[in-house]
Structure formats: structure tokens, C-alpha cells
């Protein structure tokens, strides 16, 4: 590019910058080289930082855009509000909110939704509701889902159900995300009747075989004390992923049903699903109440788990065992069984 003088072409530089945001150090180098920066380039940097581990570095760039006199657009606000949410920068986010109102960018649905998400992530649910109440149109499902998810986050479950009823009155159909919020709320308050009604609704709208919804249903039934119904839902799914298996194993372990947890682990093995480190974490929760190492030892012979063979993770597992009250020497022996087992999963 230097030899062909393409470094002087803003369009080429913009595309190069956009292609570099997965490596923000490299993107910063390119950004600092450009003399005539435009809004697209600023927005590219904001977007890059919003998906990086150094999101807070974007805030000075946002201020730089404003100080340069460049007029911000909806993409600028979406990116910087996402960053404020990730960094929990409530004060800065409130300032961006005010700028968005003054500039007229609050008219865009994506800006409104990102603003709503920002307040929900920062657990400012009252501010989120104020933003929601200012919406002139409420026909966007994403808007409703964000606010319901935020209400679950701060344990305001009555608001979740209230929003759902209002959403239905507006003629908006629920999505998977909607059902996940509702099932989580029903489980957390232990409302079996409402949870069972939601299960029927999931069947009616065709979500009963969605693995995310199924996992939420299993969790809801377990939280409302109906573990047998959780197992019934589980058995009704033909193709189960490791997350689904881990969910029920964790539920059995949490309720000190050691034999059920071990039996499910063995069934998982026979059906050709390889357990992972999350499976072990679920089994570890059996120990404090039952003092049983059976599930953990069964895990050790369920197959060689590649992500536990590294010494660092073996040490972390041993620490976890000790924290659960397992004698240190016994914990070390179990970790060795897990890490060095060469018994392959049956086909």
C-alpha cells in the first residue's frame, strides 16, 4: 500500500482499519497514522473496543470525536453505550444518553434498545423503565425482551410477568429469549403453576424442542421441587447436547441425589456424549452434603478429558475439591484419576 500510495486514499484506509479491529493494537497503529480522520473511522475504533478486552480505552476516543466537531450518528451511540454497559460506566453512559437526546439520535430504535440494555446491565432498572416509557412505539420484540431480562437480573419478577402480559396485549409474539426470562422468573419465585402454564405455552408456539428452552424448563421444574418432571422433559428430547446433560446432573447433585447423578453420567457415557469440566463442577456439588466421592470417581473413568489434562487446571480442580471439604490427599488422587484415565468412551 505504501509503494502504491494507497495509504493516502481514505476509502482504502477505512477498509484496512475495519479489517483490523480483531487486533486492536494493530488497529491503533493504523488509526494513529491517519491524518484526515472521518466518522466511519472513529466508529470503527469504537466498535472494535466494544468487542475487545480493553473497552474503557474507547471513551477518550468518543470524547475526541465530540471535540473535533464531527457530528455523531446512531452507530457512534450504539457502540459507546455498549462499551459503557461492559465497563459499568453509569456516569459516562448517562452523559451519552443526554447527548443522544439533544442530537436527535434517540429516534433510532437500535439506539433506544442499546440505551435500555445499558441501564439494565448496570442494574438501573428504574432508569430503564423511564427510557421504555418514553418510547413512542413498542412494536419491537427486542425492546420487550431487554427489559424483561433486566427485570430478572434485579429479581423484580412481578415486572417480568406484567411486561409479558402487556406485550401480548400489543399483539407481539414471544421469542425464545422471552420464554427464557419468564421461565427463569417462575423458577426463582418457585411458582410451579405459572411455570407449568409456560410449558404448555412453549408447546403451543413450537418451542418445546428448542434446547435452550428445554434447559430452562428443566431448571424451572427443579427449582419448584418437581425434579421428576424435569427428568420427564429431559427424557422427551432425542438429541441432547452436553449442556442439557450437565444441567440435569447438576440438579441431581445439588439435591444430593448421588445415585441419580451417577446413573445419568453413565447413561451420558453410553450414549456417546463426552463429559467436560462443567460436568465435573456439577458433580463436585454432591460432596458437601453427601460426603460421596462416587460421582467424581465415575467421572474419572468416563473418558480422558483433554481440557483437564493440563497441570494448571488439574491444580484448580484439586483446590476446588479441597474447598468442598475433600481431604487434600484424596483430592489429589481423584484429580490424577481424571487427568490420566485412558478409558475411552464406548461407541
Q: How high is the pLDDT of residue 247?
A: 93
Output phi, psi for 38, to 5 deg. Answer: -120, 175
The CA–CA distances, whole Å, from 72 to 11, 17, 42, 65, 106 equal: 19, 19, 10, 8, 12
189-194-196-202 Cα dihedral, nearest 10 degrees: -110
3-state SS, residue 166: helix
Q: Which CATH architecture has domain 1-134?
A: Alpha Horseshoe (1.25)
Domain boundaries, the chain: 1-134, 137-238, 240-347
C-alpha cell at 91: 456516569
What are the residues whose beta carbons fall under 8 Å from the beta carbon of 186, sequence distance 6 or more?
Answer: 194, 195, 198, 220, 224
Of 180, 178, 247, residue with least CA distance to 213? 180
Q: 31-66: b or e for each residue (b if 16 or more CB lie within 10 Å)?
A: beeeeebeebbbbbbbbbbbebeebebbbebbeebe
Q: What is the mean pLDDT of each run of 10 residues along the chain (347 residues)?
A: 52 85 88 86 91 89 89 94 95 96 92 96 95 89 96 95 94 95 96 96 94 96 96 94 92 87 87 83 62 50 43 45 44 45 38
What are the residues whose beta carbons fall under 8 Å from the beta carbon of 200, sequence distance 6 or more?
Answer: none
**Cα–Cα dist 174/145, whole Å:** 9
Amino acid at each position: 500500500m505504501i509503494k502504491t500510495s494507497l495509504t493516502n486514499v481514505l476509502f482504502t484506509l477505512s477498509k484496512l482499519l475495519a479489517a483490523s479491529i480483531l487486533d486492536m493494537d494493530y488497529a491503533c497503529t493504523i488509526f494513529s497514522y491517519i491524518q484526515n480522520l472521518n466518522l466511519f473511522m472513529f466508529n470503527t475504533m469504537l466498535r472494535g473496543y466494544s468487542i475487545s478486552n480493553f473497552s474503557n480505552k474507547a471513551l477518550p476516543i468518543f470524547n475526541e470525536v465530540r471535540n473535533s466537531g464531527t457530528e455523531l450518528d446512531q452507530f457512534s451511540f450504539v457502540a459507546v453505550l455498549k462499551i459503557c454497559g461492559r465497563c459499568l460506566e453509569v456516569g459516562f453512559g448517562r452523559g451519552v444518553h443526554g447527548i443522544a437526546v439533544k442530537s436527535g439520535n434517540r429516534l433510532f430504535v437500535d439506539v433506544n434498545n442499546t440505551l435500555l440494555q445499558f441501564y439494565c446491565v448496570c442494574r438501573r432498572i428504574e432508569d430503564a423503565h423511564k427510557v421504555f416509557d418514553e418510547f413512542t412505539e413498542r412494536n419491537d420484540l427486542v425492546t420487550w425482551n431487554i427489559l424483561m431480562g433486566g427485570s430478572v437480573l434485579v429479581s423484580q419478577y412481578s415486572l417480568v410477568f406484567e411486561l409479558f402480559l402487556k406485550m401480548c396485549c400489543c399483539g407481539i409474539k414471544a421469542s425464545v429469549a422471552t420464554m427464557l426470562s419468564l421461565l427463569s422468573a417462575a423458577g426463582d419465585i418457585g411458582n410451579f403453576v405459572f411455570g407449568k402454564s409456560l410449558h404448555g405455552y412453549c408447546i403451543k408456539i413450537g418451542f418445546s424442542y428448542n434446547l435452550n428452552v428445554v434447559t430452562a424448563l428443566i431448571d424451572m421444574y427443579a427449582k419448584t421441587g418437581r425434579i421428576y418432571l424435569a427428568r420427564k422433559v429431559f427424557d422427551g428430547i432425542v438429541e441432547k447436547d452436553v449442556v442439557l446433560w450437565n444441567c440435569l446432573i447438576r440438579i441431581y447433585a445439588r439435591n444430593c441425589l448421588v445415585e441419580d447423578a451417577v446413573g445419568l453420567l453413565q447413561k451420558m457415557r453410553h450414549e456417546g456424549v463426552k463429559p467436560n469440566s462443567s460436568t465435573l463442577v456439577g458433580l463436585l456439588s454432591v460432596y458437601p452434603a453427601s460426603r460421596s466421592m462416587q460421582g467424581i470417581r465415575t467421572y474419572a473413568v468416563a473418558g480422558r478429558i483433554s481440557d483437564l489434562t493440563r497441570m494448571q487446571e488439574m491444580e484448580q480442580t484439586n483446590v476446588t475439591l479441597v474447598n468442598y471439604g475433600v481431604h487434600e490427599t484424596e483430592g489429589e488422587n481423584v484429580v490424577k484419576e481424571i487427568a490420566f484415565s485412558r478409558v475411552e468412551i464406548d461407541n
